[in-house]
Amino acid sequence: MSERQPTPEERFRLLAGVALADGVLSPGETQLLLEFACKLELGRQSAGRILNQLRIDGRVRIDPGAGVDEGVFADLIQVVFADGRASACEMSYLRSLAKHCGFARGRVDELLADAVISTATGQPSASGRQGRPPRQIGNYELGQELGRGAAGVVYHATHRLLGREVALKLFPICKKSGEARRAGFLREVRAAAKLSHPNILPTLDAGEAEGLPYLVMELVPQGETFQHRVERDGPFESRAAALAIAAVARAVHYAHGEGLLHRDLKPGNVLVPADGKPRLGDFGLVSEVGEAATRGRLVGTPAYMSPEQLRTEDLDTKSDIYSLGATLYTLLTGEPPFLADGLVELSVRVLQDEPEPPSRRRPDVRAGVEAACMRCLAKDPAQRPSALELADALEGAAEDSLMGKISRRFRRKHV
């Protein structure tokens, strides 16, 4: 890493870039950026020019020669959590920058974990050491971090009295965004209480300790997400992908029947335990069907959002179907239907372009599976299937694929 420190303009550009990573500049982020502009002795005119340019570009170009040390990175994290939460886009930007600058992933996770806890409590982390979460929440002893997202951080935890191992999700709450964050926590808890399905991750407990709301879920033994599996092993075989998404679609159909929209369906939110049965989790952005909970607000993971979700319109069940289709597309090809460097460019592609059929990327993708996937990705929600129709179509395509394999093997053996 170069020892040259970034200039005030370069530093402000990095700070503003992480704030704009999700395409939105919140009031808390705006105030904090103004404070940083003053500290950096950067005039309002220069700060405004940089912000406007970033809005136009839709991305931040990192100068490889500008050194970004832990002090600069800590400032970036402070901006990300200015309103008590970090969006998926902002988290992705931070990790990309950390990788670009050569930071060890473990150290980045420590800095981020400390930010979540200090933001939630208004104090350094409960352990008194930077980068460490509190060791105990209610009756639970916290272990290693399992994952994180916009809604909170998930830890491996153990019930102190029962000795039961669980997954515990902490929700950061702060003064600036306390009511909104608490409402999100209550939404997820109430949704979890309504749902009982073999393909939905069970919720065991919920509460609040030291001002930190938490949700306790079943710990999936030897589990990994679809995303991790694709990253490690590459795309799924057609039949395996079809059966996996069919199982998730049945869980989504059940949730829709209970009057709930997931709003953040993606490969990273589906766990696969050792028994191979997918479990849908993370209902942190759940809303009721027909609830005007999204108009004017961008919520979710952009690469898996439906066109209407990117337009911040009111959503119905067909928005979840698009996300299921995008998840299936990732399992089949290794990537979501659309990729871009910034949110603006990605949004334009999702809204205007037609996705490339998966078979063009992988010729062995079965026609029936591809047809079901492409129907989910229709721009017009009315052209998408229901979750139940999708499950039936994928299971039918998987059965056809299996029978085709048996037939081909029989012919080879007897010719």
Question: What's the pLDDT at 353?
Answer: 93
Q: For residue 199, give the nearest of 245, 256, 164 by alpha carbon.
A: 245
Q: What percent of the chain has pLDDT over 70?
A: 63
Per-residue confidence band for 263, with pLDDT thresholds at 50, 70 and 90: confident
| pLDDT (mean) for 19-28 | 64
* Angle CA 88–131–119, to nearest 5: 55
Question: What's the pLDDT at 135?
Answer: 74
- Quick one: 259 exposed, middle or buried, by C-beta within 10 A (0-12, 13-18, 19+)? middle
How many helices and strands, by DSSP H and E, does the chain display? 15, 11
Q: At which residue do the structure tokens 């209902």 appear?
A: 283
Question: What's the pLDDT at 87?
Answer: 65
309, 294 contact by CB (below 8 A): yes
Would you call 264 a catalytic residue per the annotation?
A: yes
- Take residue 177 and report the two structure tokens written for it: 């965004």
Q: Range with the lowest mean pLDDT among 125-134, 279-288, 291-300?
A: 125-134
70, 108 contact by CB (below 8 A): no
Q: Which residues contact 10 (CB under 8 A, 6 or more apart)?
A: 63, 66
Task: Indicate the domain borders of the chain.
Answer: 8-103, 136-218, 224-408
Q: Which amino acid is at 100?
A: H
Question: What's the pLDDT at 64?
Answer: 43
Q: At which residue do the structure tokens 């808390």 appear?
A: 28
Q: For residue 355, give the nearest of 383, 319, 322 by alpha carbon.
A: 322
Instruction: Kindly report whether the global pTM for this prediction surpasses the value 0.85.
Output: no
CA distances from 71 to 58, 106, 131 (A): 25, 17, 14
The rounded mean pLDDT for the chain is: 77
12, 50 contact by CB (below 8 A): yes
Say if residue 40's pLDDT is above 90: no
Q: What is the DSSP string of 286-298?
A: -EETT---STT--
Give the whole-angstrom CA distance, residue 289 versus residue 256.
8
Could you read off the pLDDT of 320-333 as tens digits, one per residue?
Answer: 999 999 999 999 99
Helix (H) or strand (E) holding 347: helix 343-352
Q: For residue 203, give the nearest of 219, 192, 213, 212 by alpha carbon.
A: 192
Q: Range with the lowest mean pLDDT among 81-90, 304-313, 380-389?
A: 81-90
* Angle CA 285–358–314, to nearest 5: 30
Q: Which amino acid is at 168?
A: L
Which CATH number describes the domain made up of 136-218?
3.30.200.20
| Catalytic pick among 83, 114, 264, 282 | 264
Give the whole-angstrom CA distance, residue 36 versus residue 45.
14
Q: What percent of the chain has pLDDT over 90?
A: 30
Question: What's the pLDDT at 84?
Answer: 57
Say if residue 371's pLDDT is above 70: yes
Q: Does domain 224-408 have CATH number 1.10.510.10?
A: yes
Per-residue confidence band for 275, with pLDDT thresholds at 50, 70 and 90: confident
Per-residue confidence band for 176, with pLDDT thresholds at 50, 70 and 90: very low
Q: Range with the lowest mean pLDDT among 53-57, 168-172, 368-372, 383-387?
A: 53-57
Per-residue confidence band for 197, with pLDDT thresholds at 50, 70 and 90: very high
User: Residue 212: beta bridge partners?
Assistant: 209
355, 292 contact by CB (below 8 A): no
Say if residue 127's pLDDT is above 50: no
What's 249's DSSP letter? Answer: H
